Amino acid sequence: MATERLQLIGCYYQQAHDELVRMTTARVHCRQLAEDVVHDAFLRVMTSDTMVMEQSLPGLLYRVVTNLLFDRWRRWNHSQRFLRAMTASDLCCEDTATATAMHELTTMLTDTFSRLDAESARIMTMSVMEEKKVSEIADELQLPYKRVENRLYAARKTVRRQLLKVI
C-alpha cells in the first residue's frame, strides 16, 4: 500500500512538476523559489498520513503549494513589520512598552545568534536581517548551496529552541 502510494506520487511528480513550477513561478517571480516550494510540497505529501488517490492528488498538491506560498508570504510580511518597527525613529516616544518589548526581542535574538558558530551566525543574519535568499548567501560567502541550506536549517532549529526556552 505504501509503495503504491509513493509510486502514484512519483508518477504524478514526473507528469506535473513542470506545470506546478510554472504556476508557482508566475506567483513568486523566481524560478528557484518556485522549484523549492514545489519540491517541499511533494515531500510533504509523500511524508504525510493523508490518504492519496489519483483523483485527489492534483488538488492536494495545489492546496499544499498554495499554503506554502501563504506561509512564506506571512513570514516575509511579519519580518517586514518587525524591521519597520525596529527602524522607526519615533517608536520610543509613542509607546514605551512596545519599544521595551522590541529591545528585549532584539537582545534575545542577538544573544541566540552569538551562541551559533561564526559561519552559521553570519548565514542566519544574512537570511533574517538582510532577507537574502540561500542562493545569494551561497554566492556571497562562496559556499556550496547545500551547505548554506543545511547551516540555515540547523541555525533556525537552534534559534527556535533557544527562544522557546525564553518565551
pLDDT score recorded for residue 84: 67
Any residues with CB less than 8 A from the CB of 58 and at least 6 apart, and which?
12, 16
Mean pLDDT taken over the chain: 82
**Nearest alpha carbon to residue 92 among 84, 80, 103:** 103
Number of H helices and number of E strands within the chain? 8, 0
Is the pLDDT assigned to residue 90 strictly greater than 50?
no
Any residues with CB less than 8 A from the CB of 88 and at least 6 apart, and which?
none
pLDDT score recorded for residue 93: 45
Rounded CA-CA distance 124/110 in Å is: 11
Higher pLDDT, 28 or 84: 28
Q: Alpha-carbon Rg of the chain, whole angstroms?
A: 20
pLDDT score recorded for residue 151: 92
Is the pLDDT assigned to residue 24 strictly greater than 50?
yes
Higher pLDDT, 109 or 61: 61
0.85 cut: is pTM over it? no
pLDDT score recorded for residue 7: 87
* Torsion angle defined by CA atoms of residues 138, 141, 147 and 151, in that order, rounded to the nearest 10 degrees: -110
